Amino acid sequence: MKEIMNRILKKEPVFYKNPAALDDPSGYLGKLDIGFDDIVDAEQRLGRFAPLVSMLFPETKDGIIESPFIKADNFREKVYPGMKGGLYFKLDSHLEVAGSIKARGGIYEVLKVTEDILIRNNLLDYNDDYSVIAGDSIRKFLSGFTVSVASTGNLGLSIGIMAAKLGYNSRVHMSRDAKQWKKDRLTAGGVTMVEHDGDFTYAAAMGRREAGTGNNIHFVDDERSCNLFLGYAVSALRIKGDLKKHGIEPTREKPLVLYLPCGVGGAPGGIAFGFKHAFGERVKCYLAEPVSSPSMLLGVMTGRFGQLNVNDYGLDNKTELDGLAVASPSDFVSPMMEFLCDGFFTVRDEKMFEYLYLLKETEGIGIEPSAAAGIPGPGITGLWDRDVFHIVWTTGGLFVPGDIYDKMYFRGKRAYEDSRD
């Protein structure tokens, strides 16, 4: 423990195998306030909204926002020669509407809130065709409400765009880490942006404070929201079709192994929660953070959970992996990760640019740097030579503008070539 702490403080990449992780999580999961039925309920709600989503975003497939799942043989050969077990990528980087994993939780929460408001006001019935929500009268009604959120960029994109599209007054409190192109995209989508010269924890505190002073304002609280969490968890039900298509039948001996980029923890935590429910002992989950922001790792390792701030350990939370620039983990999610997460690892920024480049070269897939954090997982956990189903979750990138992507690509190419010299 002391040795690993020294390495964390020196910003060296580490792997921490979680000693409290449960092989069989069923007893623990059974004691939580939320359970499998809530994930099914969320999935059904997304189904009710599909006609509306399809109308508002015709680029989605029948109004269901879901990502591709691929077997990455070329990448495997290049990066992990000799690897045992198949290497797969779950491309949440390519989720429509928001272009990141945040499309799962963020959009789910906006839809859930909308259903609650409309049913409460007798403007909707569960049996209605939800495309009525796009009609003028409901849009006008929703314009009397505000949906707000704090974000490092991607959650803002998902919630901001969906809320504005439904007619809400949509506000995003941006941390200083957010990239300019994400802010520009939001402004173009009719979202009001409040820029903060502080980190995500600060922006979240400001958003929460503002919401506390107003009426008809719903603040999506990334540090505490159960709705966001359930939206991510639905992925565990949806993946069953992907697994079937690829002939993947996980067992206790040959499990699914997920490598998930982690910021505040809602997205990877919700996915881990969903998968532990759906696959029990047949899945292992590993969370990835930048070396300068290992807030979930430290929060769980020290037992301080959401009270922890990496700044207290002399770490600056400055990283080019903008989506993962979070100094304090979610207080709601981190205590669950003590039992549901099998391990944590940290990654260096520069290496992520190399992976961004290599993924394009080998598989033709474009991602943003944060989205690459899971890629070193099989190596750093030492599982690369185990015959398991390695599933790397890439989490953002679809909407990165071409010129910005090219710069990152060439940066990665240079870094890769230099590392070969």
Ligand X SMILES: Cc1ncc(COP(=O)(O)O)c(C=O)c1O
Question: Smaller CB distance to ligand X: residue 63 or 265?
Answer: 265
Question: Smaller CB distance to ligand X: residue 63 or 290?
Answer: 290
Compute the least distance from the CB of residue 118 to ligand X, in Å: 27
The site string for ligand X over 327-366 (x = CB under 6 A, - otherwise) reads ----------------------------------------
Q: What's the CA gap between 381 and 288, in Å, rounded?
A: 11
Question: Smaller CB distance to ligand X: residue 130 or 334?
Answer: 334
Compute the least distance from the CB of residue 333 to ligand X, in Å: 8
How many of the chain's residues bind ligand X (CB under 6 A)? 21
Asked if 395 and 101 touch (Cβ cutoff 8 Å), the reply is: yes
Compute the least distance from the CB of residue 284 to ligand X, in Å: 18
Element (H, E) at 289: strand 283-290
Torsion of Cα atoms, 305 then 286 then 233 then 107, to 10°: 80
Element (H, E) at 394: strand 389-394
Residue 400, CA distances (Å) to 32, 185, 366 in order: 38, 10, 9
Q: Which of residues 180-239 bind ligand X (CB under 6 A)?
A: none
Compute the least distance from the CB of residue 228 to ligand X, in Å: 7
Q: Which of residues 234-273 bind ligand X (CB under 6 A)?
A: 261-268
Stretch that binds ligand X, among 15-23, 100-108, 244-252, 345-353 (CB under 6 A): 100-108
The torsion angles phi and psi of 134, rounded to 5 degrees, stand at -80, -5
Q: Which of residues 400-419 bind ligand X (CB under 6 A)?
A: none
Residue nearest to ligand X (CB): 323
In 3D space, the residue among 274, 333, 325, 267 whose CA is nearest the CA of residue 299 turns out to be 333
Q: Cα angle at 401 between 398 and 407, to 5 degrees?
A: 110
The site string for ligand X over 126-165 (x = CB under 6 A, - otherwise) reads --------------------------x-xx----------
| 308 binds ligand X per the rule CB under 6 A | no
In 3D space, the residue among 146, 110, 111 whose CA is nearest the CA of residue 218 turns out to be 146
Asked if 261 and 371 touch (Cβ cutoff 8 Å), the reply is: yes
Interacting residues toward ligand X by CB under 6 A: 100-102, 152, 154-155, 261-268, 323-324, 368, 370-371, 395-396
